[in-house]
């Protein structure tokens, strides 16, 4: 039996948690930096804030989806 398994699992969870925290901070940063640029280019403020989280969410979906497919022996091509 591998005695390192519980420690590796805890480490993996810590890394995953830290990754999600960093992703959240980057998403918030994107909203506060990209939105003013979009507004200055004439995009209405009520919709300008939506672009950064939409792009970030698409990236997260692609990365998580690719990981799930890889776990099942599939590939995105």
For residue 55, is it within any domain? yes
According to the model, what pLDDT value does residue 2 have? 66
For residue 40, is it within any domain? yes
In the chain, how many domains are there?
A: 1
Buried/exposed 9-30: b ≥16 CB within 10 Å, e otherwise: eeeeeeeeeeeeeeeeeebeeb
Tokens (6 digits) for 54: 């939409």
Tokens (6 digits) for 32: 């506060």
Q: Is the pLDDT of residue 5 over 90?
A: no
Q: pLDDT by residue (tens digit) across 25-77?
A: 999 999 999 999 999 999 999 999 999 999 999 998 988 888 888 888 887 77
According to the model, what pLDDT value does residue 39 have? 96
For residue 6, is it within any domain? no
For residue 18, is it within any domain? yes
Domain residues for 51? 12-71
Spatial CB neighbours of 55, under 8 Å, sequence gap ≥ 6: 30
């Amino acid at each position: 039996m591998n005695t390192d398994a519980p420690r590796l699992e805890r480490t993996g969870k810590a890394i995953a948690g830290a990754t999600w925290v960093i992703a959240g901070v980057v998403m918030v940063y994107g909203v506060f930096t990209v939105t003013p640029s979009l507004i200055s280019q004439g995009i209405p403020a009520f919709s300008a804030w939506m672009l950064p989280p939409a792009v970030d969410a698409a990236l997260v979906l692609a990365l998580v989806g690719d990981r799930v497919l890889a776990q099942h022996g599939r590939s995105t091509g």
